[in-house]
Structure 1
Amino acid sequence: MRALATAFLRTPTPAFAVLRAFVLGSLVALSFFALENLNKELRLSLSVWTEGRSPLQIYHAFRDQTFDERQVVTRSALNGGWQPHVVEFRGYRDVTLFRIDPMTARGALQLGPVVLTGRWSEVTLRGSDLERALSAWNDLRVTSVDRETLRLEATGPDPHFNLVVPDTLFDPPLARLTAAAALLGAMAGLAWLTLEIVAAFLRRFFPFVYVRARSALMFGWVLPVLVCAGLSYHASDNITDSPVLGDAIQNLLIARNVYQHNTFSIDNSALYARPSNFREPLPPLVVGLYLKALLPAGQHPSFAQLRAGDKTRFVKLSNLIWVFAGLVGVWLLMIRLTRHGVAGLAATLLAYLYFFHAPAYIDSLYTELPTATLLIWCTYALFRAVRKLQARYFAAAGVLMGLLALCKASFFYIGWAALLLLVLVMLFSRRDPKATRWQVLRWGAVAGLCMSLTLAPWMLRNQLQFGYSQVSDRGGLILAGRATLNHMSDEEVLGLLYEKSPQLYRRLVEGTRFAAKPGDFERGGRWQRLNRGVSSFFESDRRAAYEGQPDGVVSFHFKAGAEAKRRLNALRAQGVPHAEQVLDQAMKREAMAMIQADPWRHIWMSGPFLWHGFWSFQKFEIPLIDPDLQEVLVESLNLAAGAALLAAFVFGLFAQRPRLIALTVMPVGLLLFYAFLTHNIPRYSTPAHPLMLVVLVVAAHRSLAWARHRVGRLGLLSAPWGRALRRRAPLVRG
């Protein structure tokens, strides 16, 4: 890539400049034309009225494919009201069929107009047209039809129907597309030719400026920042106006109260906001400041507008701050590790495709995205600290550890453990004469002090408000849930291994007792207590948890919540001040007692929970490749990246390599902490994914360097094909 760019810049002949501009413009036009033809964007919009509150599920299938549990979108529904649902699909394959499960119980149901919007056309179905378009009815019957509305009755526990997508939605207008591609190619060629003219002018009349500009563009900060900014802009396409769901609702509530009331509170009120400490403060603080900076003065959008209204996409666009910072951090870390721009670009693109571009992280307000970004920068600071052996880098690492703890409370413990381990490895390593015993201890103390000072304001606030200084309230509930899960049966452990397992494992165990059979995760099935998702008992579990009735709950997940709600109601009835904090401390003590009663069972169960959360790489669709093969590629990448991270950590620990420990200790700490002390759903381990990919690219870079060195020692690079190998392997330079 450098050689090509250098050749382009050094050739002064005008004819060649025009030829290069033409070639570039043609490539841009052809790429645009191909991508627009491959692009199969589709939007499904529908309005549903249900008699009771129930989740709605939308499955989608591609051409010549069947429905898959991994290809489903879940939305909540109002109780006795109309609820609009908008689902967008972006990819390179035609979505040809939908299966819509509007509810999970018997009752009345109404469907308003259904709108299918492709990239080039739109189809609206309503009333009798909608009835004719639907097929494969199950547990549903039509009661009446008018011009706008289709009224139905759910007659069984599994009501659903199919909707076929017309092929015309994916047919592009070739004439308009060709004209647009030609115009874009001409603009790109003209821009390149202009740059060539400017470069030739500077090279001839201002050579010093030309050299500085060329160096900044090719080898400095300019190219990484431009690429990361472009990727961040591209990521905004995956941020939609879909509702904020799950735990992200709590982050949005706190952000709204920071914006409107200048306080951290989980109250949903426009008039008051009582201070709370239910979640970590940093992510909602960033969103609240973003709203303060960009919303017009005096504008106070309601929580409904922010969660599922006209301000929803606007508030989620704040995620681009973390996306850009995370991508720049990956590139910068790779430059420090390999001193090679191509390796930096490769790691940045992988991190973008499999994390920073994934809607699961950027189209919501979960804390995984900010955690991943801070984890990258904290690892960068630790690596620089160990390499430079300067107190300022240890201080920066301490500050970033504190910020990580304010983003995920688990890093309060992970940070201290990681810092202690790094100091011990540096003490025993003695690889650098400057790293004397007292110097290492002083650097560790600087990092610990800076971490403590970063956390001090928040912990002091909690001490003054609630009488305790912990970062967040939720630790007791999560630990109690994990201690309860230790007592699942061995049969349920098999379900834990299967539930989030890769397809490679599922194919291996197919037909054995290790594999799921129909009904295993439903009521009465052997793995029913593991099902925290949509099921025939999901709504009854949710209601029982909300009302504090653990005896009416099936799943482990809702039983823990129901028990906590029951005890919280009792404490509030007794007039106990700060009941949430009192309950959290009590549950934490009880959970620790349960773990200490059978510590070996807890340690043994950490293995299945590590497996349960490990397989969490998001799929990135690759054009023209079979979906099953894509699944295998993603799972293989997940395995290779995770294995590289864990192997690098273990090798660094036993070989006493402080730099390897600095690179791996924080993400490995995250994986082990969540496997050991939580139920470890796959979302928990995702902040480690960018650093997994960084370690994998570094391992590939070092392997290529080793192979090149071995070939060189054998004298094979002196042969003609050997010289060609040297020219074609720029990744191993430096």
Structure 2
Amino acid sequence: MSATFIRRLTTITAAAVGLLIVWLLVQDFDVISPDGLGDDATQNVRSSINFARYGTYSSLPISPDVVPGFRREPVPNVLLALYLRVANVLSPGLLDQANQPFSDAFLLVVKQINLVWAAALFFGLWLIAALVFSPLLAAHGLAGLQILIVNHFFVLKTIDVMNTELIAGMILVWLSAMLLLAARTRSWLWLLVSGVVFGLLALTKATGAYVALALLPLIALALSGISRKFWISLLAVSFGFALAVMPWLVRNQIHFSKPVIAEGGGDVLMIRSVFNEMTGSQFVDAFYVYAPIAVRRDLLGPWMKLSSDDFSCEGRLAVFNRKLDCDRLALEEGRFADVLSFYQRGKRAIPWSLSLDGDQKKSMALRRFQERPLNALVTSVPLGWRGIWGFRAKKWPSIVLNIAAYGSLLLAPALALLERRLSWLFVSIVPLSFFAFYSLFSHFLPRYSMPLIPAAIVCLTMVAVDLGARLFSRLPSAAMPPVRLI
């Protein structure tokens, strides 16, 4: 094929990807409904309304006299507040939502901001494809395929809720793109931008702050090696991170004497500290409990002699069931020692029996971790298994795709070392660090790993392209493979 024909075909495929994005956004718009919000999402929306109407960031009930708070991470809700201010100009009275539940019309308007995050996610995936795949014609085609898969398994499951998974997944993708640009250009400016995006991620998911402590030096080392440039790289990416995070930390120090991003970590740590008490048999049973239903039914159930009946109060799997009637009754009657499930013991029974506040829960949980460090490490294996199933797949083809994608994400850093290719590292290192953190310090609800789906799909595509190029190189023809990693 002539170079002119290839250029024209590349332009056509680029236009096709753009049209695909528009078409998917139209389809996603139809999914948005006036359905109510969960507890976390309600706190997010209240934080936005309080900030938009009264200039006070707080998840408490909407009021002119509301006091500042820091229960929820700020970036998604501050951006939502700005969006609501604009929407209120176009539709006066929109922010008059002091009474709850929120009106249907208001919920429809609020949820439409998710279309912005979805569009940004799609364009981020397109940019990454252009940065890691060659030629550009193939990159466009692979971008379209990735966008379709991510829309089906991630966007459609988050577009109608107001939790932070969708925007977190979008920021993770753009952070990978900025790191890839920094690696390609070796410019401190892109490292500075990467640091800012990393900071925005931490202000969206507070876990990012802990992850950054370990990864910022590693990113600088990967780009510059052990040389004088290392310190320039570390300064650039760290300064960008501080530029994004410090205003919020200063605000919380002034109001609460706590330079932290959000509260609530004590609850998760306390729950996880109870999970660390798993016995050997419960460790094994957890792989059945946290597997998709099809895997339980067709494989693990018959092999382990377990079924859904074992989740009852008298069953072998009762400790894994957070909705036991006997636990609910025990909590109502103050019989905290009789609570069975790990979750209810950590979330309610222990804190209620000792009247612990948030800081006390965090302190006690950390002491429990220190008392059982090996247990915490071992328990991360079944909880990591739980987190792998972020696709929430129900049928075997989707289950296979799920395990292949997350397997590729876990494999990517090793491939970065073997192939000495930074693209593997910068696409995977931040999502994988989130995965490791959740495995070690949380009970790892599958919802926590949903923002990792786009990065996992990119890694799976990279693995497929890499394997394809290796197989192509074994053919007698000396031609270049039709698609390859840059």
User: What is the identity, as a one-letter code, of the residue corresponding to 1:233?
Assistant: V
Counterparts in 2 of 1:682 and 1:379: CA distance versus 1, 3 Å: same
Query: Aligned runs of 1:178-197 on 2, under 5 Å?
Result: none
1:639 match: 403
Kept in 1, the 8 Å contact 2:462–2:485? The answer is no
More helix, by proportion: 2
Question: Deviation of residue 348 (structure 1)?
Answer: 1.7
Find 2:119's aligned residue among 324, 328, 337.
324
Structure 2 residue 199 is matched with structure 1 residue 402? yes
1:218 match: 12
1:314 match: 109
Structure 2 residue 355 is matched with structure 1 residue 560? no
**Equivalents in 2 of 1:683, 1:651: separation in Å?**
27
Question: Deviation of residue 384 (structure 1)?
Answer: 1.2
1:253 match: 46
Structure 2 residue 23 is matched with structure 1 residue 230? yes
1:446 match: 236
Find 1:464's aligned residue among 247, 251, 254.
254
Counterparts in 2 of 1:564 and 1:242: CA distance versus 1, 3 Å: farther
Kept in 2, the 8 Å contact 1:426–1:656? The answer is no
**Equivalents in 1 of 2:306, 2:222: separation in Å?**
43
2:295 match: 504
1:344 match: 143
1:613 match: 387
More strand, by proportion: 1
User: What is the identity, as a one-letter code, of the residue corresponding to 2:232?
Assistant: R
1:524 match: 314
Kept in 2, the 8 Å contact 1:425–1:657? The answer is no
Kept in 1, the 8 Å contact 2:327–2:339? The answer is no
Structure 2 residue 36 is matched with structure 1 residue 243? yes
**Equivalents in 1 of 2:287, 2:384: separation in Å?**
10
Find 1:388's aligned residue among 163, 185, 188.
185
**Equivalents in 2 of 1:662, 1:517: separation in Å?**
41
Kept in 2, the 8 Å contact 1:425–1:656? The answer is no
Structure 2 residue 366 is matched with structure 1 residue 592? yes
| Partner SS for 2:105 | coil
Counterparts in 2 of 1:564 and 1:364: CA distance versus 1, 3 Å: farther
Question: Deviation of residue 522 (structure 1)?
Answer: 2.0
User: What is the identity, as a one-letter code, of the residue corresponding to 1:230?
Assistant: W
| Partner SS for 2:302 | coil
TM-score normalised according to structure 2 size: 0.89
1:483 match: 273
Find 1:373's aligned residue among 164, 170, 178.
170
User: What is the identity, as a one-letter code, of the residue corresponding to 2:12?
Assistant: M
| Partner SS for 1:511 | helix
Cα deviation 1:189-228 (Å, max 9, x = unaligned): xxxxxxxxxxxxxxxxxxxxxx9xx6995376x5544432
| Partner SS for 1:266 | coil
**Equivalents in 2 of 1:305, 1:515: separation in Å?**
43
User: What is the identity, as a one-letter code, of the residue corresponding to 1:341?
Assistant: H
Kept in 2, the 8 Å contact 1:355–1:689? The answer is yes
| Partner SS for 1:233 | helix
User: What is the identity, as a one-letter code, of the residue corresponding to 2:306?
Assistant: A
Query: Aligned runs of 1:93-104 on 2, under 5 Å?
Result: none
Cα deviation 1:36-77 (Å, max 9, x = unaligned): xxxxxxxxxxxxxxxxxxxxxxxxxxxxxxxxxxxxxxxxxx
**Equivalents in 1 of 2:365, 2:42: separation in Å?**
27
User: What is the identity, as a one-letter code, of the residue corresponding to 1:350?
Assistant: I
Counterparts in 2 of 1:278 and 1:716: CA distance versus 1, 3 Å: closer
**Equivalents in 2 of 1:690, 1:343: separation in Å?**
13
Greater RCO, CA 8 A, separation 6+: 2
Question: Deviation of residue 656 (structure 1)?
Answer: 5.1
Kept in 1, the 8 Å contact 2:322–2:341? The answer is yes
| Partner SS for 1:259 | helix
User: What is the identity, as a one-letter code, of the residue corresponding to 1:302?
Assistant: Q
Where structure 1 has 5 or more consecutive residues not aligned to the other structure, the ranges are 8-210, 429-435, 572-582, 620-629, 718-725
How many residue pairs end up in the alignment? Answer: 478
Kept in 1, the 8 Å contact 2:56–2:68? The answer is yes
User: What is the identity, as a one-letter code, of the residue corresponding to 2:369?
Assistant: I
2:80 match: 287
What is the root-mean-square deviation of aligned Cα atoms in Å?
3.0
**Equivalents in 2 of 1:602, 1:554: separation in Å?**
20
Question: Deviation of residue 584 (structure 1)?
Answer: 3.0
Deviates more, 1:495-504 or 1:461-470: 495-504
Find 2:430's aligned residue among 656, 666, 674.
666
Deviates more, 1:302-311 or 1:337-346: 302-311
Question: Deviation of residue 463 (structure 1)?
Answer: 0.2
User: What is the identity, as a one-letter code, of the residue corresponding to 2:147?
Assistant: T
User: What is the identity, as a one-letter code, of the residue corresponding to 2:27?
Assistant: H
Structure 2 residue 105 is matched with structure 1 residue 300? no
Counterparts in 2 of 1:268 and 1:548: CA distance versus 1, 3 Å: farther
Kept in 2, the 8 Å contact 1:422–1:658? The answer is no
Counterparts in 2 of 1:557 and 1:371: CA distance versus 1, 3 Å: same
Structure 2 residue 325 is matched with structure 1 residue 536? yes
2:447 match: 683
Question: Deviation of residue 287 (structure 1)?
Answer: 1.8
Kept in 2, the 8 Å contact 1:500–1:612? The answer is yes
**Equivalents in 2 of 1:548, 1:470: separation in Å?**
33
Question: Deviation of residue 553 (structure 1)?
Answer: 4.3
Counterparts in 2 of 1:602 and 1:733: CA distance versus 1, 3 Å: closer
**Equivalents in 2 of 1:548, 1:421: separation in Å?**
49
Find 1:698's aligned residue among 450, 457, 462.
462
**Equivalents in 2 of 1:216, 1:646: separation in Å?**
32
Question: Deviation of residue 408 (structure 1)?
Answer: 0.3
**Equivalents in 1 of 2:54, 2:13: separation in Å?**
47
**Equivalents in 1 of 2:187, 2:175: separation in Å?**
15
User: What is the identity, as a one-letter code, of the residue corresponding to 1:556?
Assistant: F
The alignment-based identity, stated in percent, is 26
Question: Deviation of residue 298 (structure 1)?
Answer: 4.3
Structure 2 residue 306 is matched with structure 1 residue 515? yes
